[in-house]
Structure 1
Amino acid sequence: MQKITWRKIPSPRLKRLKLTFGLRTKITLIACLLLTLPWIGYNYILEMEKLLRQGQEQTLVGTARAVATALNERPNLFSDQASFLQSVQKGRDLYAYELGSAIKLDGQLNDWSGYSEQVVHYGREYVQFSRRPYQRSSLHFNHMVGKYDGYLYALFEVKDNKPVMRRRGSARVDRNDHLIIAITTPNGEFHRYVISVYEDGWFNAWRINGDITQPADLELESQIQGYWHTTDNGYNIELRLPLNMLGSKLGFAFYDVNNTSNREIDTIIGTSNTNQLSKLGTVLIPSPEIENILKGMGHTSSRIWVIDRHQRILAQTGDIQESNGVWSSSVKYGDETDSWWTTLEQKWLHPLYYRYLIKEPTAFHDTLKDAANVKGVHISQALQGRGYSLWRRSNDGKAMILAAAYPIWLDDNVMGAVVAEESTIGIQTLRNRALEKLLNALIAIIVVGTLTLFLFASNISRRVRKLRNEAEHAIDSQGKIQHTITASTESDEIGDLSRSLAGMVSRLSQYNHYLENLSSRLSHELRTPVAVVRSSIENLSMQEQDEDSKRYIERAHEGIQRLNTILSSMTEATRIEQSLQGAEKEVFPLNELVEGCMQGYQMAYKNHRFNVDTGNAPVMVDGAPDYLAQMLDKLISNAVDFSLDEQPIEVTLSQVASQACLIVSNKGPLLPDDMNDQLLNSMVSVRTQSQQSKPHLGLGLFIARLITDYHQGKILLRNREDKQGVEVCVTLAVATLEGASKS
């Protein structure tokens, strides 16, 4: 007996995993469309913010127009402020900046540190006289003027390589370094003053009533005060004078003496010529009258400037930090409560909003101390006679500022403009409050909506899954009706589907019951006429017949025999299925059963060879030996019918882990595609007409499957790996000697 080695059964090819989505997942994904609501709401709020900005722009333009209307056709507000000049010259025409606090007159210049950008440097281009070619190292100075609390303050940082003080006991004030101040009074009178000191310290000015060289023409002016402080590079001068003694013109000039012997004037540098009224420069001091008008109008929600035609500030009111517009008054927060929703908002929602969705207004810095910085398209348009507005960023870029300008008319001439500015913090705060309420409402809608849809989807999914499970358990893998489907009482579509499936399964159950009993009924009904025909043929054969009649009687006898075989096969499967229900199992070595049966097959099928390999160790199974032998009969009979006469049939029994594997393999025609599982069903066969020497109803493998299922095993048909034949593999659970399954 040829030994055949066991071959490992290749596992079926795994199907590629396909991502599937259940009803709950799909409805949850659909619920994600609710997340578009915050995006829509957010864009709606942004559009609302744009409309509010347009409203703020129109309101601010109206504010500038109202202030300009109050200042129109009032020449007295501009006549004393040199606003009628066609042009101004930097350094010559001075501007008194609004100071934040009073200046301490000590010559240290510490109080002027915040105004470094407004300081003007005076050098070669401001030289009025020089005895010899001008050298920058000989004399130059930095200067600015400011206004605070009724006083005009002046700063002079003089660089002089040879400072010359006034001699002790000398009555002359012009034989040393000195400062000339020329002004016009509010009445238009021209006055000149001189500052000349013996040493560092406090000083008062001398009014020059005639010739400066004549001490008798000098008069002490106690209202002009200051401090002279000598430095390593020259000297510093800080002084002040009352605004009520100052008109629209002002000039300063330094007279430099370098030779202590002859004490002649070497260089004169100044803001303008202080000797003649016509050549004296102007000074612009913010107008208190205009400031009073602005304050009287009560515009506290805007920062307002009034500028002249040269873009110099005449008056200013308001603070940009508090200029939030009229919208800021609309933002009112309700009283905070101790509810769980308030706690959720404060601890979780608001921090989340302001981190990812909302930008909270931050403190910004935007100060314009220098009148020369008051520029822009809106101002140039206003000075041309047209109202205009624009948006700009603050100096530090942290906020948007709206600026509007409107012209001030005097007759048919534009004498200046009103500039109003507001920040958008009020609108931003209003927008943020609206976004908070909107997002709170949308989150509540999304949470409730998603939860409702999820519960709804879960209910639908549960009912569909229940219906699917009932449908799967209603019919087994062989198509038999095992259980009925419980009809749902719900009135929706799933309930209708459940009732339809329940009715369909009920009808299929009745039809399958009819088909299952058809073979036994048909066999019972046909046996009587078959017996009548057989007895009639037998009686007819006892009489003398000619050769043709004998041949016909013999053929009829063969047909009756064939029909009887068919009837026996039809009832065989039913008998086995019924007898398996009462069969008793026992533990026995399966290899002994296989070897015993194979000896009988060798004698029954003398034209075929069998190669058997059952191994050396016993393979114990818990089952019914008679039925397992009958199963092996069907497998061998099937292999014999399809094998080639000269090729052996291979039978292999092996144990792999806790499974006993019985393989019957033969060389011959291959299985048709997609017929592996169908051949295990009843009344299915792939035999050709030439192979059917006797009737075959395809019940052999069906009976083998019934016996395998009874033993809780598996049977598999497949083509051999070498593609030269077919093999049948039966796997059974291995049992111990006590009968317990190892599976």
Structure 2
Amino acid sequence: MSLRIKLLFLSLMTLILPWAGWQYAQRMETTLRHGQEESLITTADVLSRVVASQPELLYRFPDELREGFDPARGDLFAPLLSTTPLLDGFADEWPIPSRPVAGFDATAGVRLGVFGRYMYAYFETRDADVRYENPTAEFPASEGTTRVVFLTRDEFDRERAWSITAVAPGPAIARTSEVGSPWRTSPDELQHITGVWRATAGGYAVELRVPISMFGEQLAVFALNHDGLASQTPTLGKLHTASDALRERLDQYTPRGLRVSVVDQRGWLLARAGSVEIGGSAEYAALRQDEDGFARSIYRRLFGGRDAVVVPYGLPYGMWGSPVDAARQGENAAIWFEPAGGEPSLVRAAVPVHFGEQVLAALVVEQPAEQLAVVREDALTRLLNLTLLATLFSVVITLAFAARLSQRIRRLSRAVASALTPEGRLEPRIPDTKARDELGTLARSYSTLLSRLKEHTSYLQTLGTKLSHELRTPLTIVSSSLDNLASDESLPPSSQNYLNRARTGTGRLHAILTAMTEANRVEQIIDHTERVEFDLGELVRNVGQAYSATFPQVQLEARIAEGPNPFAGSPDLIAQMLDKLMDNAADFCPPGGKVSLSLDRLPGEYVLSLSNEGPALPPHLDGRLFESLVSARTQPDTKPHLGLGLYIVRLIAESHRGSVSAENLPDGSGVCVSVRLPGI
């Protein structure tokens, strides 16, 4: 992992600051929420005592509390209506629960609602054979007509019925009816019942307004055809209504900005008063204007989700779910809800309404939590924005510092890597040696080390010349003395062998001294040799012919590119380079082996190759074969080899802006050395 990546990760550790701030804000918000919940539960408990002081406002009849209410068995519920329905025979303005409610059918059946002192009813059925009342017929005019019958029973088991007919689609006619088949009607119309009869595609619909005092404890609504047959078996169900009197009572005690609801033991809404309102301070209004900002929306997604999703209560018919269910079981509870349904974020608290040991109902108090949520989001936004800016600034500064530091390290690394040139010379030019930090100290240490290494290398490079100069004089004296001794006729024959061995040794010493100084002479010759234009192919051809006679122990094959092969360089140096290559190839090629010399002309360059049969290149010399004092010979030889031949080949190739390489033959039978030289 690079230094910049490490420093980047280190700078990203500053992100712990916004996380810690968020944790602190969450803890503070939890404390504030708990306090607001307790305050709202206390308010709800006080209001529940007010409701419990008049239990008769909760239920029209005591049996409703004792026997319960269940729409699944045919019981009907009449919620409070927010506005007076328009009596037009259409159901589009009748409220539909916000979630499925047992016993409620939005497409058919009867719907009830309470507004003021009146009960509103909507009834729809499918009966294509509708018989309207004949206004000219004698009494009973309603006999033999299609009718809708309302059957009610009070708490004393007294039953009462009235039927609804019409002479045509339009105003409905209400008359008192006998209880039981054939449900005969009286001639007098009930003027306090008004309504509309509307024909539908598959039947008819009736919408009525009836004084609520005409309804008893139970109710059944059904249709009679013109034969007096009921569309369904008349079954009286409990009639459960919301309480407008209870709503008026709640209006007197509900604080501003709160919404108070009372539900019975099964969750059906009995009354509701007040409304949730958002605070109107200038500071809060300014916060709300920015609540949908880009940054805040991101933070809300990242750190939101603490509030519960709004439960789709069956309003205006009932309220179920948390915390209402807990209050119906006799427990206090509160919960926070996300904004939904056109309402702001809410905190909802519910407490039971006790009458002695009995739970009569549940009282629900709702308060807008939008202000706390917006203030919390604003505080979090400010905190996170500042910490993120600080983190971004820290990351940028760290990356800039890391880039500068990495650049200095890479520059120092490149300088150290290139201190030793391909020619084997040391160039100890180290940057940042004047810097006063740790990298400056390291650069100065490298510079000192390379300077001393250059001095040592320079000494080693001139050591051969110095030794050659110092050893040639005594070696010449020894050689001349041996020559004089050999000319002495008085030398006994037994000493002749020792004399020959001494002369052979001095000859080898002369060859070694010559090889040690040859590389230095070649470098000097390269620097002062004049470049001329000549035919490289002709030179290689002539040299190849000479090698055939010079190295008779090998089979030499020469292949030269056809046509003129112009080249600019030193013919003597090229010939010397070929001499070194041929000498090296002949040494490694077995007697009678094959040596191939070729010159190929490629676009923009010449490729001069010399391959020989014999052993492959040893792996440990990979990439080092053309360095100074490196030799691949492992067997002793009579000729001195100091590893300078291929080094001289490289010097001559590079002096002509070329390159040299060696590789094993594809079949592993030998080695091929290739020299690439630029063409004209």
TM-score > 0.5 by shorter chain? yes
- Which residue of 2 is the match for residue 305 of structure 1? 261
Question: Pairwise mapping of residues 70-219 of structure 1 onto structure 2 (< 5 A)?
Answer: 70-78=50-58, 82=62, 85-88=65-68, 95-105=77-87, 108-109=89-90, 113-114=94-95, 143-155=110-122
- Pick the aligned partner of 1:685 from 624, 631, 636: 631
Q: What code does the residue aligned with 1:315 have?
A: A
- Which residue of 1 is the match for residue 194 of structure 2? 226
Deviation at 1:60, TM superposition (A): 4.8
Q: Distance in 1 between matches of 2:5 and 2:262?
A: 66
The SS at the match of 1:678 is coil
Deviation at 1:660, TM superposition (A): 1.6
The SS at the match of 1:731 is strand
Contact map agreement 1:248 1:283 (CA 8 A) in 2: no
Deviation at 1:81, TM superposition (A): 5.0
The SS at the match of 1:695 is coil
Q: Does 2:607 correspond to 1:661?
A: yes
- Pick the aligned partner of 1:288 from 235, 245, 252: 245
Deviation at 1:109, TM superposition (A): 4.4
- Which residue of 1 is the match for residue 49 of structure 2? 69
Contact map agreement 1:306 1:314 (CA 8 A) in 2: yes
Q: TM-score, normalised by structure 1?
A: 0.72
Deviation at 1:452, TM superposition (A): 2.0
- Which residue of 1 is the match for residue 181 of structure 2? none
Deviation at 1:437, TM superposition (A): 4.1
Q: Does 2:597 correspond to 1:651?
A: yes
- Which residue of 2 is the match for residue 711 of structure 1? 656
Contact map agreement 2:332 2:349 (CA 8 A) in 1: yes
Deviations 1:612-640 (A, max 9, x none): 22233122211111222222222222222
Deviation at 1:454, TM superposition (A): 2.3
Contact map agreement 1:719 1:725 (CA 8 A) in 2: yes
Q: Distance in 1 between matches of 2:540 and 2:226?
A: 138
Deviation at 1:494, TM superposition (A): 2.2
Contact map agreement 2:262 2:272 (CA 8 A) in 1: yes
Deviations 1:245-296 (A, max 9, x none): 679758688997979xxxxx998999899xxxxxx97664414245433552
Q: What code does the residue aligned with 2:474 have?
A: P
Shift of the 183–109 alpha-carbon distance from structure 1 to 2, 3 Å rule, reads: farther
Shift of the 546–679 alpha-carbon distance from structure 1 to 2, 3 Å rule, reads: same
Shift of the 253–676 alpha-carbon distance from structure 1 to 2, 3 Å rule, reads: closer
Contact map agreement 2:251 2:274 (CA 8 A) in 1: no
Q: Distance in 2 between matches of 1:521 and 1:632?
A: 29
Q: Does 2:445 correspond to 1:465?
A: no
Q: Does 2:678 correspond to 1:733?
A: yes
The SS at the match of 1:600 is helix
Contact map agreement 1:96 1:286 (CA 8 A) in 2: no
Q: Distance in 1 between matches of 2:166 and 2:304?
A: 66
Question: Pairwise mapping of residues 540-619 of structure 1 onto structure 2 (< 5 A)?
Answer: 540-543=485-488, 544-619=490-565
Deviation at 1:96, TM superposition (A): 3.7
Q: What code does the residue aligned with 2:581 have?
A: L
Contact map agreement 2:287 2:374 (CA 8 A) in 1: no
- Pick the aligned partner of 1:477 from 408, 411, 422: 422
Q: Distance in 2 between matches of 1:178 and 1:596?
A: 131
RMSD value, Cα: 5.3
Question: Pairwise mapping of residues 381-460 of structure 1 onto structure 2 (< 5 A)?
Answer: 381-388=326-333, 404-421=349-366, 433=378, 436-437=381-382, 440-441=385-386, 443-460=388-405
Contact map agreement 2:346 2:370 (CA 8 A) in 1: no
Q: Distance in 2 between matches of 1:642 and 1:534?
A: 32
The SS at the match of 1:549 is helix
Deviation at 1:463, TM superposition (A): 0.9
Shift of the 103–472 alpha-carbon distance from structure 1 to 2, 3 Å rule, reads: closer
The SS at the match of 2:621 is coil
Q: Distance in 1 between matches of 2:289 and 2:446?
A: 59
Shift of the 22–659 alpha-carbon distance from structure 1 to 2, 3 Å rule, reads: farther
Shift of the 610–384 alpha-carbon distance from structure 1 to 2, 3 Å rule, reads: closer
Deviations 1:66-95 (A, max 9, x none): 321333344454575546641156699764
Deviations 1:397-436 (A, max 9, x none): 9999775432212233222221345687667656655664
- Which residue of 1 is the match for residue 182 of structure 2? none
Contact map agreement 2:630 2:642 (CA 8 A) in 1: yes
Q: Distance in 2 between matches of 1:406 and 1:647?
A: 110
Q: TM-score, normalised by structure 2?
A: 0.78
Q: Distance in 1 between matches of 2:159 and 2:272?
A: 30
Q: What code does the residue aligned with 1:455 have?
A: A
Deviations 1:697-723 (A, max 9, x none): 222222222222211211222323332
Q: What code does the residue aligned with 1:519 have?
A: G
Q: Distance in 2 between matches of 1:662 and 1:267?
A: 117
Deviations 1:350-377 (A, max 9, x none): 6777899979999989564454x44457
- Which residue of 2 is the match for residue 3 of structure 1? none
- Which residue of 1 is the match for residue 457 of structure 2? 512
In the alignment, structure 2 segments of 5+ residues that lack a partner are 178-185
Q: Distance in 2 between matches of 1:234 and 1:635?
A: 115
Q: Distance in 2 between matches of 1:395 and 1:296?
A: 27
Q: What code does the residue aligned with 2:469 have?
A: H
Deviation at 1:656, TM superposition (A): 1.7
Q: Distance in 2 between matches of 1:151 and 1:669?
A: 118
Q: What code does the residue aligned with 1:470 have?
A: A
Q: What code does the residue aligned with 1:292 have?
A: R
Shift of the 434–328 alpha-carbon distance from structure 1 to 2, 3 Å rule, reads: farther
Question: What percent identity do the matched residue pairs reach?
Answer: 28
Shift of the 431–121 alpha-carbon distance from structure 1 to 2, 3 Å rule, reads: closer
In the alignment, structure 1 segments of 5+ residues that lack a partner are 1-20, 123-140, 209-216, 260-264, 274-279, 736-743
Q: Does 2:571 correspond to 1:625?
A: yes
Which piece of structure 1 moves more, 146-155 or 362-371?
362-371
Q: Distance in 1 between matches of 2:30 and 2:596?
A: 89
Contact map agreement 1:80 1:247 (CA 8 A) in 2: no
Question: Pairwise mapping of residues 503-542 of structure 1 onto structure 2 (< 5 A)?
Answer: 503-542=448-487
Contact map agreement 1:485 1:505 (CA 8 A) in 2: no
Q: Distance in 2 between matches of 1:60 and 1:49?
A: 16
Deviations 1:441-467 (A, max 9, x none): 455345323322321222122212221
Question: Pairwise mapping of residues 34-53 of structure 1 onto structure 2 (< 5 A)?
Answer: none
Q: What code does the residue aligned with 1:418 have?
A: L
Shift of the 361–308 alpha-carbon distance from structure 1 to 2, 3 Å rule, reads: closer
Deviation at 1:242, TM superposition (A): 5.5
Which piece of structure 1 moves more, 654-663 or 354-363?
354-363
